[in-house]
Amino acid sequence: MSKAAPETPGALDRAGTLTIVASRYNSTYTDALVESASETIKKLAPDLEIKVVRVPGAFEIPVVVEAAACSEEQPLAIVALGVIIRGSTAHADLIAESITKSLQQTSVSHLIPVIHEVLLVENTEQAEARALGDELNRGREAAEAAIAMIDVMESIEN
């Protein structure tokens, strides 16, 4: 596991919407991811409107991401946040693989950055390190990636 996050992007001076779609399941971790992502977005891109949509579980994230991508007011980027804790069956792996493929398909087909931070972890210790920690905070990293990708997409359009 890499602990080196990409460089923090510069501030973004652009109005628009950024949508966060987050699971309610494993709420201790997902709430922290949403909070960290929102704080980072407000700091780096104060002109962006943040829309947060909560869904029951991780499996429901892709359909809402697709709906946001198809909406009349298309967001500049979408951040998908969730935590799947592996159990004794293959269920978590199947869910994670399905989510990954669906999020990539939406991103590519609509040309909207979809930042995938639906975490598949082995245990609560790993979830805590990635969602509650300061050093390795995937909510912050997802927000930074979204801001960087909005900038990249804007540079391609211009």
The 10s digit of each residue's pLDDT in 30-48 is 999 999 999 999 999 999 9
- Determine the Cα–Cα distance for residues 101 and 5; give it in Å rounded to an integer: 23
Degrees (nearest 5) of the Cα angle 75, 78, 145? 120
Residue at 4 is within a domain? no
Q: Which H or E run includes 27?
A: helix 27-44
| Choice among 42, 43, 91, 101 that is catalytic | 91
Establish whether 91 is a catalytic residue. yes
**Domain total of the chain:** 1
Mean pLDDT over each residue of the chain, to the nearest integer: 91
DSSP string computed for 117-141: EEEEESSHHHHHHHHT-STT-HHHH
Residue at 10 is within a domain? no
User: What pLDDT, on the 0 to 100 scale, is given for residue 107?
Assistant: 97
pLDDT digits (tens, 9 = 90+) for 56-98: 999 999 999 999 999 999 999 999 999 999 988 888 889 999 9
User: What pLDDT, on the 0 to 100 scale, is given for residue 25?
Assistant: 95
User: What pLDDT, on the 0 to 100 scale, is given for residue 133?
Assistant: 76
Q: What is the CATH number of the domain that holds 24?
A: 3.40.50.960
